[in-house]
Structure 1
Amino acid sequence: MRRKITIFGFFSEDSGLTCFIKTNYHALVAEGYDFNIINTANYRPARELKRLGTYYEVPFYFSDINGRNFFQKRKNFIRELKDILEECRNTSQTIHLYLNTLCDPISIILAHKANFNRIITHAYADYTNIFNIAEKQLQYVGRKMVEKYATDYIAVTPEAANFFYSKKLQRSPKFSIIQNGIAVKKQRYHEEQNLYYRKRYGIDSKTFVIGNVGRFINSKNQVFLVECFDLFQKIYPNAKLVFIGDGPMIEDVRQRVYQLNLESKVIFTGYLENTEEVQNIFNVFAYPAISDGLSLSLLHSIANGAMAVVSNTQSQQLKELDGIVSLPIDNAQLWADEFYRLNQRRYNRSIQSEKIMSELIQHGFTISTVSRQLKKLYGRPQWED
């Protein structure tokens, strides 16, 4: 039997992290790697990850410290996770922790207590701009636990690295950046899919479509996007806003749509398995995230040939790509004006798609690049003694 690598993270069905795991780890399985997957998602857990290896599920306790039975839920979570980690340790020497924050470093501490030889922490987000004082203090404690117990330090972007690691750790030979990789050529623009899905969702072929893909959570800032769209459609009425995804804050966004009387102009598709096909209807991909990692949905959309307007909190890696405009998120009118400017721009969507796909390949945003980096990180598949 081969030694397994244990993967830990909050893998909900509609998260970018889950998409990263599904996209890139299938290639590793095909090359002989085996995995234990520990999923802590408490909202739409991605159980399709069972196809990658031995699957465990231990829903994360509620983050609201004022919530009912908070401490009991946390206690139960720790007990269950401890048992799972000890079981995984029977077949695994390495654990790879995909983390959004370090506010509760219990997974790192328990991995150490379970005697994993290698504890890899992976900074998968940057929440610097949305943390309050208390959260920043908790993050500081978590960084100390990383320094004490982790053996390898990975980040998806330099910004996420700064959020998780000290400059000293970033100079360590055990630190590296592994950026997101996608199946680039699969995102190629298809005119026939554009026309098909516009007809399916009742959108005229000449309507200007602004799209957004992602979970409905605070950091994605979709309410702000609704307000930007409201200003834009007042100067260009033949427009639609399409949201693809689901999440705990979807009703807040729906409520804002209702308040602005935009029900006829905003479409909520819900979670889709075929996002790569539906995104062909987008003229512009809008991503006003307050703070985040390296958005896979953004990479998908620009590879598909859509122009993109993103918040200026996004990684510098993205701003170097063609077709992306970066704007501050304190001025909705600025976003509306940019939507109008892009609406007036004329370009060949297929040619733009081919151009950006070439750029993404050149910059290493590919499955093959990520697979090569992960294989280097993990080493060759090992057999039990």
Structure 2
Amino acid sequence: MEKNKIKIIEYGALTSTKGGIESYIITQLRHINKDKFQIDFLVPNEYEELAYEHEIKALNSKIYRGYIRWKNSFWGHYYTLYKFFKQHKGEYDIAIGNYLDLQNINFLIIAKLFGVKVCIAHAHAGNNLRKNIKRNILVKFNRCVLSFFVDKLFACSKNAGNWMFGNKNWKEIDHYIIENSIDYNKFLFNMKKRIELKHNLNLELGNTLVIGHTGRFAEEKNHEFIIDIFNEIVKVNKNAYLVLIGDGVLKEYIEAKINKLNLSEHVLLLGECSNINELLNIMDIFLFPSKTEGLGISLIEAQINGLLCFTSEGVVPDEVNFTENVNFISLDKSAAYWAEKILEKDYSRKVLKKSLLISKYDINNTISAVEKILLEAIK
């Protein structure tokens, strides 16, 4: 059956952090029909362990540490991509570039030049932080050449597709919304786990308010503002606790801010966790004031668990609010305003109707649609 499989090579999908793209990739890999599809990954030639690396290999996917980052060596980047596709010429049917922005589509350009039949650009972010002129120029250039090298566009939301690829490309190139689906059964509220984990984390006070966040410690996730909001909440509710799940480059900086505000006894930094679905059970409020998001898969997981959510108005797409349990607040509002809005709400869990659970975000409903798109793409 191996020779009849559709072989896919993906780029930009994996880092050492268990972020949104990594979560999307591993969920899809667990459920895709492995008799029909072989998905492999091209990552930088660095030696740090990747998120879910052991499981990815156990699922018979290959990981090639095969290219130099563009920022480390301009010519080295192109040469190592050229070398990879020359070595694997004729092996892959589809190349997928996973992007948080569009300043670099070299992987898809070289893939197409080496005869890969279908090249797909996948937008995983929207309204990102384009801070310099060079990045803006590169994005505009890549939008102009996109149609020559890319056959299909994927995006986690319409907003992400328009923002990354531009309105013209999104209209004219064959495009699809690929929902960041999850295995919803894993994220359903579990009272037994809530009691067990609150006991393990010493969060058993009768009227404790637990506010939670999951996400890598990076500027776009806005952890500094999360701490400011929580600081205002603690002024009103001394039994409030903040649980932060994730890791990243800004973790030490945020930890220093926590200590400076004398909040260390109220904040739990749990690092990267493989049981996020279980840890959601200990939370009462989910706080997600991102500066940029393509969709916000963490908000989907939190809603499945029945949590009341607070997120950024005009940043996080409205379609994430499939339970009507998400409150949108402008980032222009102060931390005190956010805290006030959070504290005035009834944060008792909402039991979701089955019709909402079995939604477009359920991996069991979406994986067949993705498979159909990929099968039709190579006909």
Task: State which of 350, 355, 374 in structure 1 corresponds to 2:370.
Answer: 374
1:66-119 Cα distance to aligned partner (Å, 9 max, x none) = xxxx4x3x4333332332233343321211111111112222222222221111
The code of the aligned residue for 2:356 comes to E
Q: Which moved more, 1:54-63 or 1:306-315?
A: 54-63
Q: Which residue of 2 aligns with 1:7?
A: 10
Structure 1 residues 105 and 154, CA gap change in structure 2 (3 angstroms) = same
Structure 1 ranges of 4+ moved more than 6 A: 380-383
Q: Which moved more, 1:286-295 or 1:36-45?
A: 36-45
Task: State which of 309, 315, 318 in structure 2 corresponds to 1:316.
Answer: 318
- The SS at the match of 1:253 is helix
- The SS at the match of 1:255 is helix
Q: After superposition, where does 1:144-223 map in structure 2 within 5 Å?
A: 144-172=144-172, 174-205=174-205, 206-223=207-224
Aligned length: 368
Following TM superposition, by how much is the alpha carbon of 1:196 offset from its aligned partner in structure 2, in angstroms? 1.1
Q: Which moved more, 1:193-202 or 1:124-133?
A: 124-133
Contact 1:4 1:35 in 2 (8 A): yes
1:1-20 Cα distance to aligned partner (Å, 9 max, x none) = 23411122231241111111
Q: Which residue of 2 aligns with 1:22?
A: 26
Q: Which moved more, 1:119-128 or 1:104-113?
A: 104-113
Q: Answer yes or no: is 1:354 the counterpart of 2:362.
A: no
Using the size of structure 1 for normalisation, the TM-score is 0.88
The code of the aligned residue for 2:50 comes to P
Instruction: Output the aligned Cα RMSD.
Output: 2.4
Aligned-pair identity in percent equals: 22
Q: Which moved more, 1:300-309 or 1:9-18?
A: 9-18
The code of the aligned residue for 2:364 comes to S
Q: Which residue of 2 aligns with 1:67?
A: none
Q: Matched residues in 2 for 1:267 and 1:62: separation?
A: 37
1:162-207 Cα distance to aligned partner (Å, 9 max, x none) = 1222333322361111111111122110111111111111212431
- The SS at the match of 2:258 is helix
Following TM superposition, by how much is the alpha carbon of 1:370 offset from its aligned partner in structure 2, in angstroms? 2.4
Q: Matched residues in 2 for 1:366 and 1:325: separation?
A: 22
The code of the aligned residue for 1:314 comes to V
The code of the aligned residue for 2:325 comes to G
Q: Answer yes or no: is 1:39 the counterpart of 2:43.
A: yes
Contact 1:112 1:149 in 2 (8 A): yes
Contact 2:10 2:98 in 1 (8 A): yes
Task: State which of 44, 51, 54 in structure 1 corresponds to 2:62.
Answer: 54
Q: Which residue of 2 aligns with 1:257?
A: 258
Q: Answer yes or no: is 1:337 the counterpart of 2:355.
A: no
Q: Which residue of 1 aligns with 2:271?
A: 270
Q: Matched residues in 2 for 1:381 and 1:106: separation?
A: 21
Q: Which residue of 2 aligns with 1:326?
A: 328
Q: Which moved more, 1:35-44 or 1:371-380?
A: 35-44
Stretches of structure 2 lacking an aligned partner (at least 5 in a row): none
Structure 1 residues 329 and 382, CA gap change in structure 2 (3 angstroms) = closer
Q: Matched residues in 2 for 1:169 and 1:382: separation?
A: 21
